[in-house]
Each structure stands twice: as structure tokens, then as C-alpha cells.
Structure 1
Amino acid sequence: MESSSPSVPFPLLQTPIESNYRACTIPYRFPSDNPRKATLIEVQWIDLFLNSVPSFRQRAENDPTVVDAPDKAEKFAQRYTEILEDMKKNPESHGGPPDCILLCRLREQILRELGFTDIFKKVKDEENAKAISLFNGVVRLNDDVEDDGKRVENLIRGILAGNIFDLGSAQLAEVFARDGMSFLASCQNLVARPWVIDDLDNYKVKWTKKSWKKAVIFVDNSGADVILGILPFARELLRRGTKVVLAANDLPSINDVTYPELVEIIAKLKDENGLLAGVDTSGLLIVNSGNDLPVIDLTNVSPELAFLANDADLVVLEGMGRALETNLYAQMKCDSIKIGMVKHPEVAQFLGGRLYDCVFKYNEVLNY
């Protein structure tokens, strides 16, 4: 389902008055801070975005769809760098004070103004093709696990391993460009449990004892993330009788999968009978979330998503942007999962964990 209507609040989010909803997880400043002086946290996050400028410039200058791409890529780098430096001097400039939503928004606005609509398109297509070729093998490995609890742990580990394909992280973008990434190796090399937030054992117990009628899953990155991580998990839910709604971005942002791309991926993975590795997909829906950033403010989603989510009893937010940097403490009216890998030192520091640590936060609502 494609959205063209004004955004609305996500219906399963506790109302802001009830939950004091704030999209950004990390408090960048407090009321007592000087509004004209950047806080230490604001400077750290501005520097994080500054460090990513070279990798974005490189992707932009190699965009074959844009005339004079190298010159325009340099203009992007200069303009965005100037804005970030301005915000260090005056956090209220350029619509501040800054947080991860504003910093992402400004970056995307500059790219789009210069004609760059999807600078990660080539690498997304390549990684999607690789992951599609591996999908059936990954599913078979999961299906071979007879114990329900062990199988769902494998599926969760797959989501976390896939989530490492994140070109918004300057460090991971450099590693990916140099070495590539192996999904199975990533599964085996996740940091040891217990993770910095680790409700997996509790969720495994609930998985074996209850079922959900409908799940809404906010997906994250292209490639191994959505195809080898999220889709095997979604398929397992379908096999258990749960209807599944996959919510993907409206517009391209970093290497996040978009709604049209996800529709195409699912079409390629289904067989001639419409089955996903042998599982009926009549209960699977794909919807435009209405979002155009790697982070999300749940007070602004598409009406189509809001309609489909209204009777769901499980919400899954996946990825560092949607589930950690935003919405980690968002309260839902139903059961919820926030899952992602910690790929920024600033997030690790805030959570008291390690770089590349994992988060699996499960909240059960008994009276929904």
C-alpha cells in the first residue's frame, strides 16, 4: 500500500500525554542548559555526522543518475559540513537544537536539493541480489531446528546479524567497502550474551506459550538485514498463523529498504504458487510507513500504516535508527520488541554497553 496522504500518529503508541513520548532516546540537553551553547552530547553527535560526510560524498560523486555528480557531491559535503559547524557554535541555528532526527533531516534535504535521490541504490541492488540467492538456505537452516525456543533464538540472532549491513555508520561503511560482510559469519560472531539489553530468554518462553494475531514490523536496511534477518522471522510468524505487516520507508535514505524495493524483493522470493519458502503469504502485507529517514518519529506515519496497525497485538521496531536512537523507551498499547545492533560508540556509551553489542527489548502488555 502506497501513501500520499498527510501523516498521522501511530495508533498503537501510547498517547504523548500518557507516555511522555519523545522520539529521540538520548537526552541531548536539559532545560537548565544554555540554549545558545552546544552541550557535550550535541557536539558528540554533530561530530558523528561530520565523520560520515566523506563516505556520503563518495557515494554521491559516483551516482550515475546525476549530472556533474562529483561537483554536486562536493557542494553537499561543504554545505552540510558548514551547517554542522554552525550548530556547534549556535545549537539553535538551522532549526536546532540538534538531535539525530534533525541531523538526518538536514543531510537528506541537502542531498535531494542537489538532485541526489538514492546514492546507495547500486550497493542496495547488489546486496539484495546476494541475499535473495541465500534466502532459501538460511530458511532451511532455521527449519531444521526442532525446538521452538532454539529456533526463535536463531531467528533473532539472524535479525541482529543482518542489521550489521548499515552504511550510515562511518566505521561499518569503511569495513563493508574494504571487505564485504558475511551473513553466516556475522551470526556466529555476535557479541556474547548477555547483551546490553537482553530480554530474549523471556521472549522465548512467551513464544512457546502464546501467539499474536497480527504483527507490525518496521524494517530497516536492504540486503541481508531485511531478506535474511527480518523475512525468515516474518515467515515463521506467518507459519504460526500471525498476520504480518511490513512497514518500509517512503523515500530512500542511506541503505534502508524502501516500500517499492520491498514489494519487488517479496515478488522475487515467492514461488509460482505465491508461497514464501513453502509458507502461505496471504497474511503478509507491505505498507509505506510514510517515513523518509533512518530514524522515525511515531507521531508521523502514513494513514495506510495506521489503518493496518490498528488491530495488531505485536509491534517490532528494528535497527539502530528506529529502535535504539529513536523509540527505545516508546510505550506501546500492545506487546513490542525493539531490536538492533549498537553501531555508534555514542549509543554504546549511553546504554553502558559495547560497540556492536546487541539490544533485544521485549515488553509484554497483559491487558491489551
Structure 2
Amino acid sequence: MESASELVPFPLLQTPIESNYRACTIPYRFPSDNPRKATPSEIAWVDLFLNSIPSFKQRAETDPTVTDAPVRAQKFAERYAEILEDFKKEPESHGGPPDCVLLCRIREQILRELGFRDIFKKVKDEENAKAISLFGDVVHLNDAIEDGGKRLENLVRGIFAGNIFDLGSAQLAEVFSRDGMSFLASCQNLVSRPWVIDDLETFKLKWSKKPWKKAVIFVDNSGADIILGILPFARELLRLGTQVVLAANDLPSINDVTYAELVDIIAKLKDENGKLMGVDTSNLFIANSGNDLPVIDLTRVSQELAYLASDADLVILEGMGRGIETNLYAQFKCDSLKIGMVKHPEVAQFLGGRLYDCVFKYNEVSS
């Protein structure tokens, strides 16, 4: 079901006056920059989006739900490239100056105007089916780890490994189409700790006290990300007695999981007693976030999510789009965790880390 109600600010976000909330993490320009001239950062990021056009065009060309898909895909490529080139010449054109939210929004608007609603549907369905078949094995491996701290670290590594399945990264889209991705191999091949932002030990200490009554998790990609990364982690929170709200996109965007898809995935993973590999799911809730982009502005979420989240004491933003490129420095009224893999060289450079480095940023709010 698509959310039709008015979007509202996320209730656990510190008010903009208190936190100077700005969705986008990386500043493409500063007040002192010439408003009529594109900055080096703006040009670099516009080029990044330009480089992603061929992979989006290729997906759109093969969309079986759209008449004349190849013709429309070509129109998408031309129109989006033209707008991106305009930003280089005149940063304030097309509602600019550009940032990652605007660049994503324009791309999605052009696709939808041309009739493309979900160009990644086929690959999402394939990856969801593959990940569902592996879910039991991944859970058994986690459950076999007796030490709570080591089990948590293994679950976190699973989130990073799953988060690699991101077709919004042109580089990863190419690797994926060529080789596919092995979840367990990805777990073993993560960059070594310490990660570029690494608050895992602090988080472990808090986790061991089973402190949180309710957690809201903004989820990211379909396939291994949601099924083999986030769901085993959410299951462990449920086992500790925490209520869990999974917030997924309203509309399709890249290979991000949608609310409707997540409802279907959970239904397929539950047993006949409604349990998730032996764990009761009566405290598991799925919410439509109201979002339609691979990034998120937390001043605009669904009323449903705002209601469900109002009494949460832990907020988790997962994935590069929601937890790094937007909201890395967002401040909340409760504990928060931003977790994701760095998949763009420009982000790695900004953070002072490596490509495919990991971000585990935990902020504890004293009660």
C-alpha cells in the first residue's frame, strides 16, 4: 500500500533549531562559493551520477512492463544527462544547487514520468529468492556463537556483507552483473578493523545490558542486505526482548526493498507458528517510511512511521544512502546507530577512509 498521507518530521530527530539538521552529509558548496559557478565537489558528484546512467539505462531497456522500453530508456538517459550537464554550467538550475537528495529525486522523477516504476524488479526478485534460501544457514551460524559479543560482531559483519548488494553504485553494479556476490565470502573479506568510523566496542557494552525497549531500523537494499544482514540482526534484538520496527521505502528506488516487498519477505521466512527461526515475531513491526529515494530526508516521513517510532529508544539508519551520504551527523533524542559500507571513492575521500571501508557510528544519549 502506498502512503497517501502528508509527510511529517521524524519525531526522534532533534529539532532543526537544536541540531541544525541537514539531510545531506557532504557539503558540495559553502556560503562563500560563487552561486553561479559549480564547485569542484558539485562537478565530481554530478560526474558520479553521470557515470551511473548507462547501468540505469540498461535496466530500463529490459523492463517488460513498459511499452517501447528501449526508446523510453534512451529518452531517460538523454534527459537526465542534459540536466546534470546543466548543473555544471548553472548550479542553481533545476531547483539547485545540487546535493545528493536533489540528484536522486530528479533521476527518479524522470524514470517515473517515462513510465518506469521499478526497473530493478527482476534482479530484486532473484536476489530475494536466493537470500531466502540461505537465511536458515546464516541464522544457524550466528546462533552457534555462544559469546554474546562475538555473536553481535558476526551479525554486524553480516550487515556490511549484505550491504554490498547495491546496484546504485556503478562499480558494484558492473561487478554484480559479471560475477554475482557470495554473502559468506563477503563476510570474510571485509576491510580490517578499525573501520573508518568504528564505535562497535562501545555499542557492544550497551548491547550486553539489553537496554533498548524499541528499535527503529531504516532498511536499505533487497536480497542479501535485508534478508541475510538486517533480519538476523533484528531477530537477535527480538530475542533480547526489544520491539523492532523495520522502516522500508514506499516506492521502488534502485534495488532498495519496499514496504510491500518486505511484508512478503517476512511472510515467507516465518514458520507456521509465525516465528522467525524459533523467535517470536509479535514484537516485529513493518512500517512504510513514506520515502521514495535511496537517501532520506528525516523531515519527511510517513505519519504511520512517526506514530510507531515515537517511543523508540534506538534509531538505526542502515546503508550508504540513509546512514552515510545522508544523516551521518543527524542528532536524535535517543541512542542512534549509522551503519553502512562506503561504496563511492568520493565518500571514502570525505571520511578519510578506504573504498569499501565500513562505518559503524554509535551515539549514546544519556537518560
TM-score surpassing 0.5? yes
TM superposition score category, shorter chain reference: over 0.9
Displaced runs of 4+ in structure 1, greater than 3 A? none
Over 3 Å counting, the alpha-carbon distance change for 1:2 and 1:93 in structure 2 is: closer
Aligned to 1:58: 58
Residue by residue over 1:275-319, the C-alpha shift from the partner in whole angstroms, topping out at 9 and shown as x without a partner, is 000000000000000000000000000000000000000000000
Q: CA deviation at 1:2?
A: 5.8
Residues 66 and 116 in structure 1, CA contact (< 8 A), matched pair in contact too: yes
Aligned to 1:75: 75
Over 3 Å counting, the alpha-carbon distance change for 1:111 and 1:71 in structure 2 is: same
Q: Distance in 2 between matches of 1:76 and 1:5?
A: 29
Q: CA deviation at 1:234?
A: 0.3
Q: Distance in 1 between matches of 2:205 and 2:94?
A: 48
Q: Distance in 2 between matches of 1:3 and 1:213?
A: 27
| Secondary structure in 1 matching 2:139 | helix
Residue by residue over 1:45-103, the C-alpha shift from the partner in whole angstroms, topping out at 9 and shown as x without a partner, is 00000000000000000000000000000000000000000100000011100000000
Aligned to 2:331: 331
Q: CA deviation at 1:202?
A: 1.1
Residues 191 and 356 in structure 2, CA contact (< 8 A), matched pair in contact too: yes
Q: What is the TM-score with the length of structure 1 in the denominator?
A: 0.99
| Secondary structure in 2 matching 1:115 | coil
Aligned AA (1:57) = K
Q: CA deviation at 1:271?
A: 0.3
Residues 25 and 328 in structure 2, CA contact (< 8 A), matched pair in contact too: yes
Residues 36 and 91 in structure 2, CA contact (< 8 A), matched pair in contact too: yes
Aligned to 2:149: 149
Match status 1:26 vs 2:26: yes
Q: CA deviation at 1:37?
A: 0.4
Q: How does 1:44-123 map to 2 (within 5 A)?
A: 44-123=44-123
Q: Distance in 1 between matches of 2:210 and 2:129?
A: 35
Unaligned 5+ runs, structure 2: none
Unaligned 5+ runs, structure 1: none
Match status 1:239 vs 2:243: no
Count of matched residue positions in the alignment of Structure 1 and Structure 2? 367
Q: CA deviation at 1:210?
A: 3.5
Q: Distance in 2 between matches of 1:156 and 1:365?
A: 21
Match status 1:291 vs 2:291: yes
Q: Distance in 1 between matches of 2:323 and 2:44?
A: 20
Residues 2 and 304 in structure 1, CA contact (< 8 A), matched pair in contact too: no
Q: Distance in 2 between matches of 1:4 and 1:194?
A: 43
| Secondary structure in 2 matching 1:246 | strand
Aligned to 2:191: 191
Residues 210 and 240 in structure 2, CA contact (< 8 A), matched pair in contact too: no
Q: Distance in 2 between matches of 1:287 and 1:205?
A: 29
Q: Distance in 2 between matches of 1:2 and 1:60?
A: 22
Aligned-residue Cα RMSD (Å) equals 0.7
Residues 211 and 240 in structure 1, CA contact (< 8 A), matched pair in contact too: no
Aligned to 1:220: 220
Aligned to 2:38: 38
Q: Distance in 2 between matches of 1:183 and 1:310?
A: 34
- Percent identity of equivalent pairs: 84
